[in-house]
Structure 1
Amino acid sequence: MSENKINAKEFFNKILTGMSIGIVVALIPSALLGELAKALNIQAVVEITKMASSLLTIIMGLCIAMQFKMSPIQSGTLAITTMIGSGALKMNGKVLQFAGMGDVINAGITAALAVLVILYIGDKLKAYTMLVVPAFVITFVGIIGLQILPYVSSITKYLGSMVAMFTTLQPVLMGIFIAVTFAILIVSPVSTVGVAMAISLAGIGSGTANLGICAAGFGLAVAGYKVNGFGTSLAHVLGSPKMQLANFVKKPAMILPIVANAAVIGALGGLQKIQGTPMSAGFGISGLIGPINHLNIAGYSAGSLISTIIMFAILPLVLSFVFKYLFVNVLKIVKEEDYLIEFK
C-alpha cells in the first residue's frame, strides 16, 4: 500500500464506508432468506445466514481495508483485529465461541486505530512486514479494543434505559418516541436488536420500534431511489437501512424525512396497538420478522392481515414520498445525492 497522506475527513469517510458495505454483505443474507428459511424449515439456510451475520465485524474490517487499498497481509490483519475488538469472540474455557455480532461501534473504533498503526508502519519494515504487522497490530490494538469495549458497550445500555423510560408514557407518545429513536438507531452503529434485548422491549414498544425501522427502510429507499437504483433501494427495505451509516454521519440532516415518517407511523402504531416481542424488536420488515411476530400476537384474521400490511408497508411507503417531497422539493433541506451509496 502506498504511503500517500490522507486527511482526517477522507480517513473517517473510508472507515464509515467500509463499515456500511460490511454491514450489507453480512446482514443481507439473513434479512432476505433467514425468516423464509425458518418458515420453510430449511435448517441449512438458517444456519448459514446466522454464520454470515456472526462474521459481520471481520467482513467489516476487510471492507475497510479495501477502502485503504491495503495489501493481503494488512487486510487480513485489520479484519482479525476488528473482530477481536468487537467482542464477538469469547473464550469459554478452552472453547472459542461466537457471542453474537459483537459491538459494531467498538469494532469501528478498533478498526480505525488499527488502520492508523498499519498506515504508520507502511513499508518501513521491508521484508519483516509479514512478521511484525500481524503479530503487533492484532495483539496490541486488539488488547486496546477489548479494554475499551465495556465503556463503549455502555452506550447501548444507556440508550436501552432511555427507551425503557419511553415505555412508561401513554401509547401514542410512546409510539412516537420509540419509533423515532429506532429509526435513528438503525442508521447508526448502534445495534437496534441489542438495545431492544437489553430491556426486553415487548408489546407496543416492540411493535412501534419495528415501525420506526420500517419508516427508515422505506424512507431511505424512496429518498435515494434516483441515485441508487432499484436494487440498492430495495436492499434498504429487505436488508438493513444501516447501509446509510456513512451518509448519516457525514450529513445528519438526511435523517429528517425519516424522523418525520417515523413520528407519524409511530403515533398510529400506538393507536392501533401494533405489538411485538423482545426477539422481534429491532428488525422492522426485514425478513418479515416485525409483521409476522405482530400477527402471532394479534391473530391471523382478515382485519389483522390488512392492518399489518397497511402499517408495515403501505403507510411507511406513502409517507416516504410525502416527506421526501416536503424536505427535498419544498424545504430544500436535503438533496437526493445525500443518500447516494458508493460501493467502491
Structure 2
Amino acid sequence: MVTFLRKKGISLSLKEYVITALSYMALGLFSSLIIGLIIKTIGEQLVTIDMSTIGSYMIDMGSFAMDAKIMGGAIGVAIAYGLKAPPLVLFSALFAGAFGAELGGPAGSYVATLFATEFGKLVYQTTRIDIIITPFVTIFIGFVTGSLIGKPIDSFMTGFGHIINWATEQQPFIMGIIVAVLMGWALTAPISSVAIALMLGLDGLAAGAATIGCSAQMIGFAVSSYRDNGIGGLLAQGLGTSMLQVANIIKNPLIILPPTIAGAVLAPFATIVFQLTNNPSGAGMGTSGLVGQMMTFESMGFSWHILWLIIGLHIIAPAIISLIFSEWFIKKGWIKPGDMKIMYQ
C-alpha cells in the first residue's frame, strides 16, 4: 500500500500537509485576497483625491480578486501545485478550493483542496477515461469535503480567533505579548503566518500585536544580520521574509531571541498605549512588501499620527532593540560572526 501511494505521489506526511500546504496556501492568498485588498485600498485613496475614475476601476478590480470563490480557486491551485499534483488534478483543484472557500472560508478551502488533491492523485491514470474520471473525482471530493468538514473547521478556527481577539481586548498586556511572539515565530518558521491569521480571523488589537511580532522578526533579523549579509540581506529580510534564517536558527536557536524580545517589548505599547489595530489580511504579514503597514492604514485610517506610529513601532524600535540585544549576545559569545549568514543556494 505504501509503495502504491508513493507511486501516486501521496506521502501521507504531516510536513507536506501542514508546512508545504500552508506555505503554498499563502501564495494563493497573496495572489488573490491580499493583492486584491491592496488594489482596493489604493483605489479608495485615489477616490478621495479626485481621481474617481481610476479609483473606481481599482476598487472593482480589487473587490473581484477578493471574492471568496476567486480566493478559494487561487488557494486550491496553489496547494495542489505545492503537493505536486498532475495537470488534471491541479486544474480541478481550482474548483475544489472555490467550493471550500464559499462554504467554509480559507480553512474550508485548505481542507477541501487537501482531500481533493490526494484523491485526485489516487485515481489519476487508472482508467482509459482519465480525462473524465480524474477531474470528476477531484471536484466531487472537494465539494463533499467542503460541505461536510470545511464549515465546521472554519467555525472552529474563527471561533478560536474570536477568543484570541476578545482575550486581547480584555488582557492587552499579556495577550499582546503572547500573540506577538507566537505570530512572529510563525512568520519566521516554514509555515504561513498569513494563512494562520486569515483562518483565525485575527482582528483589532490582536491583529495589531501580531503585526508588531511579525515586523519585529523581519526588521530585527534584517538589522542584526547586516554584518553577515549586507544590504541585500537587509532588504531580503526586511521587505521579504525572515524565513531565510530558518537554517541558521536550527544551528543556533539563540539568534531568534533578539527579534523575539523586540516583539514582546513593543507589543504592550501597541495594544495598551497606542492601541494599534489591523485586519486579518495584514496581521501575519509583518513588513513583507509593507502589506502589514498598508493594512494598518486600512484598519485605522491614514493620518500623520498613524504613519509615525507605524514607522516607530514597526520599523525603528524593533531595529534598535534587536540590534542592542544581538550585539550583547555577540559580546557574550552566544552569537558568533557568520551565525546569521544567509545561504541563498
Q: TM-score range by the shorter chain?
A: 0.5 to 0.7
User: Which structure 1 segments of 5+ residues have no match?
Assistant: 91-101
Which residue number in structure 2 is paired with residue 47 of structure 1?
Answer: 60
Which residue number in structure 1 is paired with residue 118 of structure 2?
Answer: 116
Report matched runs for 1:1-344 at 5 Å: 3=7, 5=9, 7-9=11-13, 11-12=16-17, 14-27=20-33, 29-30=35-36, 33-41=39-47, 42-54=55-67, 55-85=70-100, 88-89=101-102, 103-126=105-128, 128-153=129-154, 154-169=156-171, 171-183=172-184, 187-188=192-193, 189-192=195-198, 195-197=201-203, 201=204, 207-219=208-220, 233=237, 235-236=239-240, 259-270=260-271, 272-276=273-277, 282=283, 286=291, 288-291=294-297, 293-294=299-300, 300=304, 306-321=308-323, 330=334
8 Å contact kept, 2:40–2:59: yes
CA distance 1:288–1:125, shift in 2 (3 Å): same
User: 1:157: how far off?
Assistant: 0.9
Higher helix share: 2
Structure possessing the higher relative contact order (Cα contacts under 8 Å, 6 or more residues apart): 1
CA distance 1:148–1:213, shift in 2 (3 Å): same
8 Å contact kept, 1:105–1:190: no
CA distance 1:308–1:145, shift in 2 (3 Å): closer
User: 1:148: how far off?
Assistant: 1.0
8 Å contact kept, 1:193–1:281: no
Looking at structure 1, the residues matched to 11 and 93 of structure 2 have their Cα atoms a distance apart, in angstroms, of 20
Structure 1, 181-190 or 52-61: larger mean CA deviation: 181-190
Deviations 1:264-283 (A, max 9, x none): 11023245323337789737
Aligned pairs, how many?
307
8 Å contact kept, 1:183–1:215: yes
CA distance 1:24–1:267, shift in 2 (3 Å): same
Task: Report percent identity of matched pairs.
Answer: 17
Q: Aligned with 1:330: secondary structure?
A: coil
CA distance 1:266–1:135, shift in 2 (3 Å): same
8 Å contact kept, 1:182–1:212: yes
User: 1:294: how far off?
Assistant: 4.7
8 Å contact kept, 2:198–2:280: no
CA RMSD of aligned residues (A): 4.4
User: 1:120: how far off?
Assistant: 1.4
CA distance 1:64–1:256, shift in 2 (3 Å): farther
Deviations 1:19-78 (A, max 9, x none): 233233335534654433321221222332333343333122222333454443221111
8 Å contact kept, 2:258–2:321: no
CA distance 1:176–1:27, shift in 2 (3 Å): same
Looking at structure 1, the residues matched to 106 and 343 of structure 2 have their Cα atoms a distance apart, in angstroms, of 22
User: 1:138: how far off?
Assistant: 0.9
8 Å contact kept, 1:291–1:312: no
User: 1:230: how far off?
Assistant: 6.9
Looking at structure 2, the residues matched to 141 and 290 of structure 1 have their Cα atoms a distance apart, in angstroms, of 34
CA distance 1:121–1:193, shift in 2 (3 Å): closer
CA distance 1:321–1:152, shift in 2 (3 Å): farther
TM-score, L = length of structure 1: 0.68
CA distance 1:129–1:214, shift in 2 (3 Å): same
User: 1:16: how far off?
Assistant: 3.8
One-letter code aligned to 2:274: K
Which residue number in structure 2 is paired with residue 93 of structure 1?
Answer: none
